[in-house]
């Protein structure tokens, strides 16, 4: 693996940005400035950043209801993201989407999706388009352990394997689907094991180890670009916060379990590695953290300055010309 | 003029558009052989039987610059793809603030008369009409089908082409020259002055037969075929009803929350139209049951020219509307 110090630093910056974005989104949600629902990705940042670091401009991804991390890792504009959460005109979807529906087609981010497993086939269509274009682009589907039990996962793996589509299916196994433990809904503990049924590689990686994630993704991307077909990567990880920020939702996970996973913080792990290998100082880390924080503060300022949509705008964007 | 069947007109529309636009490709669980022969198995794909995935794959390919056509075949097979239709295709343009266009054509066969029973024939288009974000049509002639399909393939939105099972082998004139028919424009299939009948698909032909019969007793019936269900040509319907003062709606689907209900509502909620109405609206629809198999059962469920004539007589006498057959 030859990741330049700059690239490693950039990976850390993105992870810090995701973390701070969501800490702010959570706080602003509880302050009543963000509506509906927010699903935080905190604790899982290494998956989105590790995978997207192996991609190039022109590659496409699709996300889930827990989508902020994927957006940021693919290079989305924080201002327009935050403005969307704030329900403002300046948001990515002009306030029509909110947290669960942020997309930036221009950067190949085909959208968060409010329906579990809802995006898997859409991004497989992007993979088919890439194959037909013959331009070496790949497409990545992010989805949860819960989504891996839904039909689209199986239909799409079979189609992608049969047609050798340039796809990478990334299962973010955070061990729970809302309140339900994966152990109660999966006959086999490893989702990656299902790849065998479709005749494609299935790999399990430590989702909190960004280099491990990156390596697995880079291998899958190379395979896809070479026309050899899809790979299923399962990243074992954990979300620190409740399923959503909505109040009053049960969380059956034990405090011990949550605390144990916090000691495996993917950000602390990467920053520790960078400092230990001498590619970064404590002061550098602090500066990077400040940089991330400042970008979030700026995004909030942008969101607050952006007007709410006018009621009549509810009728805009129904059909394309 | 040359004659083609309804099915042939559909294939010809697709082939003509595929010839001029390389971004169009076609997916269905069993491909149409003449299309495979002309365009190859990459542009006309035989797919796994996975309608949910394919419906979504169409969305992703459309968002990536292609113009997919996905053939659900029987509309009942589209029901396994409801998430992709309802939550994704219908909403993706609006929900993401119009960032991308999604030019997709979904094709689906609807209607009875095939003895295929409940899971292979249905007229559920009003379910789809109820969604915001999809356009859709249901033509009654080969000419209309071809012209509307060509427009739909060039449209930058998801469009559903509902195609009538009963009409697949019926022939009609289709010119050799290139033509299109705009979405949202009804066709007055017969002019008349006493009663307006709004009908779609096979029932257009039944309505025309009823009109012909009634003409013998001096009753003048205007037959309107909206052709497009969304957007519906409301003005043509209202203008006709304002002229005749009477409205019968014939539909191969059941009446409940159906196409017929929509037509009745758009006519009567317009004060000017309502003011000129001389009798209540009469709907001539299928019975509200899953489509049964045995011929006497199936034939009883669907309306036909006889029931249409009875409906017309009802509105002429100002009789109270009676639901169903
Ligand atoms: C089809 C569907 N069913 C149920 C839900 C409600 N829901 C939202 S997220 C979620 C859990 C998803 O779990 P998983 O796929 O593991 O993703 P995670 O939340 O763990 O990231 C559920 C049940 C939904 N959004 N869509
Ligand atoms: Mg999960």
- Residue closest to A243 by CA, chosen among A258, A256, A233: A258
pLDDT band with cut points at 50, 70 and 90 for residue B264: very high
Please tell me the distance from the alpha carbon of residue B288 to that of residue A67, in angstroms, as a whole number: 43
Q: Would you say residue A278 has pLDDT above 50?
A: yes
pLDDT of residue B272: 98
Q: Are the beta carbons of A78 and A298 closer than 8 angstroms?
A: yes
The residue among A122, A157, A316 with the most chain B CBs within 10 A of its CB, best to mutate, is: A122
Q: What 3-state class would DSSP assign to A64?
A: coil
Q: How many C-beta atoms lie closer than 10 Å to residue A316's C-beta?
A: 13
Please tell me the distance from the alpha carbon of residue A201 to that of residue A214, in angstroms, as a whole number: 16
Dump pLDDT digits (tens) for A82-100. Answer: 999 999 999 999 999 999 9
* Average pLDDT of chain A, as a whole number: 97
Distance from CA of residue B100 to its chain's centroid? 27
pLDDT of residue B321: 46
Q: Is A174 in the pocket of ligand 1 (CB under 6 A)?
A: yes
Q: Would you say residue B323 has pLDDT above 90?
A: no
Q: Are the beta carbons of B61 and B68 closer than 8 angstroms?
A: yes
User: Could you list the active site residues of B?
Assistant: 120
pLDDT band with cut points at 50, 70 and 90 for residue A250: confident
Mean pLDDT for the stretch of residues B197-201: 98
Q: Would you say residue A239 has pLDDT above 50?
A: yes
pLDDT of residue A296: 98
Q: Would you say residue A146 has pLDDT above 90?
A: yes
pLDDT of residue A248: 83
Q: Is A42 in the pocket of ligand 1 (CB under 6 A)?
A: no
- Please give the angle made by the CA atoms of B316, B318 and B323, to the nearest 5 degrees: 100
pLDDT band with cut points at 50, 70 and 90 for residue B325: very low
Please tell me the distance from the alpha carbon of residue B291 to that of residue B289, in angstroms, as a whole number: 6
Options 3.40.50.920, 1.10.3470.10, 3.40.50.1000, 1.10.1200.10; CATH of B187-320: 3.40.50.920
> DSSP character for A109?
B
> DSSP character for A32?
T
Mean pLDDT for the stretch of residues A119-126: 98
pLDDT of residue A247: 85
Mean pLDDT for the stretch of residues B289-315: 97
Dump pLDDT digits (tens) for B111-145. Answer: 999 999 999 999 999 999 999 999 999 999 999 99
Distance from CA of B58 to the nearest CA of A (A): 6
Dump pLDDT digits (tens) for A172-203. Answer: 999 999 999 999 999 999 999 999 999 999 99
Q: How many C-beta atoms lie closer than 10 Å to residue B300's C-beta?
A: 13
Beta-carbon separation of B133 and A318 below 8 A: yes
Q: What is the ipTM of this complex?
A: 0.93
Mean pLDDT for the stretch of residues A281-307: 98
Q: Would you say residue B318 has pLDDT above 90?
A: no
CATH class of B3-173: alpha beta
Beta-carbon separation of B96 and A101 below 8 A: yes
User: pTM score, two decimals?
Assistant: 0.95
Q: What ranges do the domains of chain B cover?
A: 3-173, 187-320
Distance from CA of residue B190 to its chain's centroid? 19
Q: Would you say residue B324 has pLDDT above 50?
A: no
Q: Which residues of A touch B68 (CB under 8 A)?
A: 125
Q: What 3-state class would DSSP assign to B83?
A: helix
Which residues, in sequence order, are CB contacts of B207 under 8 Å at separation 6+? B189, B197, B199, B221, B223, B250, B305, B308
DSSP string computed for A179-228: TEEGGGT-SSS-GGGGGGGGTS-EEEEETT-HHHHHHHHHHHHHHHHTT-
Domains B3-173 and B187-320 alike in fold: yes
pLDDT of residue A1: 65
Query: End-to-end alpha-carbon separation of chain A, Å?
Result: 47
- The two beta strands, B171-173 and B3-5, are antiparallel
């Amino acid at each position: 693996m030859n990741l330049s110090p700059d690239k490693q630093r950039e990976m850390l910056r993105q992870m810090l940005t995701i973390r701070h974005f969501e800490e702010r989104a959570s706080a602003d949600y509880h302050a009543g400035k963000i509506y509906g629902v927010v699903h935080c990705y905190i604790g899982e940042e290494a998956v989105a950043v590790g995978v997207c670091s192996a991609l190039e401009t022109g590659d496409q991804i699709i996300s889930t209801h827990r989508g902020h991390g994927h957006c940021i890792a693919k290079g989305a504009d924080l201002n327009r993201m935050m403005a969307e959460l704030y329900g403002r005109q300046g948001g990515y979807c002009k306030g029509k989407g909110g947290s669960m529906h942020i997309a930036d087609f221009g950067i190949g981010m085909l959208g968060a999706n409010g329906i579990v497993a809802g995006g898997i086939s859409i991004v497989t269509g992007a993979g088919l388009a890439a194959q037909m274009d013959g331009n070496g682009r790949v497409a990545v589907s992010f989805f949860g352990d819960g989504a891996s039990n839904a039909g689209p996962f199986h239909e799409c793996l079979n189609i992608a394997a049969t047609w050798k589509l340039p796809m990478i299916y990334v299962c973010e196994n955070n061990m729970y689907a809302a309140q339900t433990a994966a152990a109660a809904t999966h006959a086999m503990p490893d989702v990656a094991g299902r790849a065998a049924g479709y005749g494609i590689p299935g790999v399990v990686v430590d989702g909190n180890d960004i280099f491990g994630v990156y390596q697995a993704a880079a291998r899958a991307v190379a395979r896809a670009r070479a026309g050899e077909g899809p790979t299923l990567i399962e990243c074992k990880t954990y979300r620190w916060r409740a399923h959503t920020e909505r109040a009053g939702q049960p969380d059956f996970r034990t405090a011990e379990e949550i605390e144990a996973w916090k000691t495996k913080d993917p950000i602390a792990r990467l920053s520790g590695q960078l400092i230990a290998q001498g590619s970064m100082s404590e002061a550098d880390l602090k500066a990077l953290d400040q940089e991330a924080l400042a970008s979030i503060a700026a995004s909030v300022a942008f969101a607050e300055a952006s007007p709410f949509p006018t009621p009549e705008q509810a009728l805009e964007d129904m059909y394309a010309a | 003029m040359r004659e083609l069947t309804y099915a042939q007109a559909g294939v010809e529309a697709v082939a003509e558009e595929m010839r001029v636009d390389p971004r169009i490709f076609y997916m269905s669980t069993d491909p149409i052989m003449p299309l495979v022969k002309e365009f190859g198995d990459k542009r006309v794909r035989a797919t796994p039987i996975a309608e949910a995935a394919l419906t979504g794959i169409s969305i992703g390919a459309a968002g990536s610059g292609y113009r997919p056509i996905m053939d659900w075949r029987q509309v009942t097979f589209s029901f396994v793809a409801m998430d992709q239709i309802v939550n994704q295709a219908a909403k993706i343009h609006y929900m993401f603030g119009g960032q991308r266009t999604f030019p997709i054509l979904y094709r689906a066969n609807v209607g009875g008369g095939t003895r295929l029973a409940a899971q292979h024939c249905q007229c559920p288009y009003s379910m789809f009409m109820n969604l915001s974000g999809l356009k859709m049509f249901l033509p009654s002639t080969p000419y209309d089908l071809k012209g509307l399909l060509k427009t739909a393939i060039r449209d930058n939105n998801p469009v559903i082409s509902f195609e009538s099972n009963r009409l697949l082998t019926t022939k009609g004139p289709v010119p050799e020259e290139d033509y299109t028919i705009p979405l949202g424009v009804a066709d007055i299939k017969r002019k008349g002055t006493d009663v307006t009948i709004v009908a779609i698909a096979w029932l257009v032909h039944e309505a025309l037969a009823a009109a012909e019969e009634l003409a013998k007793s001096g009753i003048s019936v205007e037959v309107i075929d909206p052709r497009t269900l969304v957007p519906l040509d409301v003005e043509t319907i209202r203008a006709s009803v304002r002229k005749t003062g009477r409205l019968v709606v014939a539909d191969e689907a059941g009446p409940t929350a159906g196409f017929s209900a929509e037509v009745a509502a758009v006519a009567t909620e317009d004060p000017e139209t309502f003011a000129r109405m001389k009798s209540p609206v009469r709907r001539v629809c299928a019975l509200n049951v899953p489509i049964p198999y045995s011929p006497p059962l199936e034939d009883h469920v669907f309306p036909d020219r006889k029931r249409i004539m009875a409906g017309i007589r009802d509105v002429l006498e100002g009789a109270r509307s009676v639901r169903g057959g």
